[in-house]
Structure 1
């Protein structure tokens, strides 16, 4: 197997998290190579065939795969991301039950109301940094949807903590250790108090709400989840929804770079164009760099040995741009999603495979709903200017963002 000759490639990966694996694979002329990451050997892979392999539960497990810093900030300990087999399937059902079309549409409607409320406050402001401006409407919407109490006096601090869980999870130095880890501790304590209050009858909840479902969920053995684990799972609903702010910034960025898309969205007869547009945003723009697993048992694939316990990284961003799957992959063409339905392993912005059975993100339907509503809102409900700024995507950070966080100006309601 080709090998990155560096003594340790961790810094190279951190310096270019979205393109490191793809660049090395192109240099080697293969879909995979070995590297040392965090002083341990690892296998890095890209492409649809590698994705199909990676999502084979007979070959890979997630337990202990995510690096400690990510478990301490982004995921938390004991959550669904680190489970396998029957335990994972049972826990995943908790999330998938909350992803019914009507439930997702309810969250979308709550978000749209909060977005319109926030946008009313943008009118008259000289400049609005869109990334920061989106956090609060998303947090308000998902907490109302989940039945999570959200006192106005606490919302700024709570929102900042939810953002830190994903925005600072991969940050170097103080950003990670002093912001993301501290935010994780505060968020889990808050979520744990809510779970306990529901179980003790001190916190009324709507039947079927996310808070009620998580608090009362029982594992495969019939036991309620330990409070710390239930807190982690509640945050696994709140945090990713606020993280859709990254995707909504990409929606606005794409509308600015491709104004013909805004015109297409304004045509009510254009059917499924909004869905095609947000799929292309998810394909072209960098959200998750990679996902991680460990080899379950020794096996061989295409002549390459995969030793048991070896950590394996699958390149999501590069797989979405693989020229063997996508014609002219670097061009932005929403119409390509009308021409064919992509497979579960060649379009993997939020993981691959079947979300009910595997480790594909259960909240993908939520991301699609919120992105489509955002695309229609920015194309049809709001007029604004995009002043001179640095719109280059900073690919050295995760999540990647425009360097000036997508600033808009002169916001006003669109004419009927």
Structure 2
């Protein structure tokens, strides 16, 4: 922190275009320039506070000081989150809805997910051996869509796999895009909710019987604070809010393959079936490569923090990528070093690729454990179960495109199953 009582202020009438132009580096570059973990700016014509680092993250996730209602831009709500979704709730309503998500994260459910992922990876790998080359990112989206639907109890006909994969992918690929891509995401959100909403109505009418404790079952029967059954549209939003993030792990899978290619010295450490090191590797992929750049909230009521004033209703953005690369928190943050997680104290505020804070009562992503497990299964296949060649390609990734991913999608050639 700068130690100043007056928060540093960025000059200019509005910095929205700068944020879009600079992407992941917009907040980190200004934090370095101001030598402060907080600064004021103007976004979308209104005052905003940008913040990053461990202490600022702890402040950001204080429910007495910040709220999520009304914080996310409507264009993001209408694509990425869905209207009425858990990410937009606060207080007891949020805790009640979040409890339904957390019930799905019990160890037995994650073990079932691992089993499904294993079988789907085997099936995909057998198909890939019959092809000259694949683009891993594109294949991973379909693979994860299949895994997500099977695990969530959502019926997925073979002839609709491609359509549903494209719809779910558009929700995170084009959420902050402009023009035709954005409207594609809006259409995809409507189609996905209509599809899932129809399934929920079938469950409620006794025509469809998903496994008990599956996502489709839980949200088809979920009751809100007043005891009323969740309306069909919002229930569909929440089911999609399981399917969409699992499909989005495809970005991490592309970066996982990229990490294995860029840092080949890691492979011998991952062939020993050392589950601890595999987890360190997965966590370092999540820390090192870009995923979400930042997340938003609004100041709940006026308050002072370290002599700096926070005004009710002000938008606040928490720097996720910059916090994961903060040199005050991570030694040599621009080096890929999985071993760093051997000593990590598991703070909920310094390693925040999918948000921070408490899982049960806060807004930290309920699916973080799922992400880690799916990535671990993928590492095992890429290192121990498959052999493949990596042809010459553009493996660079942009720090301005959101979300970022390897430009080639990571091409793999001559894939073979190991004996």
TM-score (ref. length: structure 1): 0.97
SS at match of 1:154: helix
Query: How far did 1:16 drift?
Result: 2.1
Query: How far did 1:47 drift?
Result: 0.6
Counterpart residue number, 2:231: 226
Counterpart residue number, 1:99: 105
SS at match of 2:23: coil
Of 332, 335, 338, 2:339 maps to 335
Mapping of 1:15-414 within 5 angstroms?
Answer: 15-177=21-183, 179-268=184-273, 270-414=274-418
Query: How far did 1:107 drift?
Result: 1.2
CA distance in 2, matches of 1:310, 1:262: 47
CA distance in 2, matches of 1:151, 1:213: 21
SS at match of 2:338: coil
Count the aligned residue pairs.
Answer: 413
CA distance in 2, matches of 1:39, 1:106: 47
Query: How far did 1:297 drift?
Result: 0.3
Query: How far did 1:124 drift?
Result: 4.0
Query: How far did 1:147 drift?
Result: 1.1
Query: How far did 1:402 drift?
Result: 0.8
Structure 2: any 5+ residue segments left out of the alignment? Answer: 1-6
CA distance in 1, matches of 2:125, 2:13: 50
CA distance in 2, matches of 1:271, 1:73: 36
CA distance in 1, matches of 2:415, 2:345: 36
CA distance in 2, matches of 1:340, 1:403: 31
Query: How far did 1:63 drift?
Result: 0.4
SS at match of 2:80: helix
SS at match of 2:118: helix
Q: Deviations along 1:306-330, whole A, 9 cap, x unmatched?
A: 1000010000000011111111111
Q: Does the CA-based 8 Å contact 1:105-1:369 persist in structure 2?
A: no
Q: Deviations along 1:37-92, whole A, 9 cap, x unmatched?
A: 11121111111111000000000000011011100100010010011111101100
Q: Deviations along 1:329-369, whole A, 9 cap, x unmatched?
A: 11111111112323110111111111111000000010000
Counterpart residue number, 2:3: none
Query: How far did 1:5 drift?
Result: 1.7
RMSD: 1.1
CA distance in 1, matches of 2:12, 2:119: 51
SS at match of 1:402: coil
SS at match of 2:412: strand
Structure 1: any 5+ residue segments left out of the alignment? Answer: none
Q: Which moved more, 1:7-16 or 1:46-55?
A: 7-16
SS at match of 1:23: helix
Query: How far did 1:225 drift?
Result: 0.6
CA distance in 2, matches of 1:3, 1:108: 48
Counterpart residue number, 2:4: none
CA distance in 2, matches of 1:85, 1:34: 27
CA distance in 2, matches of 1:231, 1:265: 39
SS at match of 1:19: helix
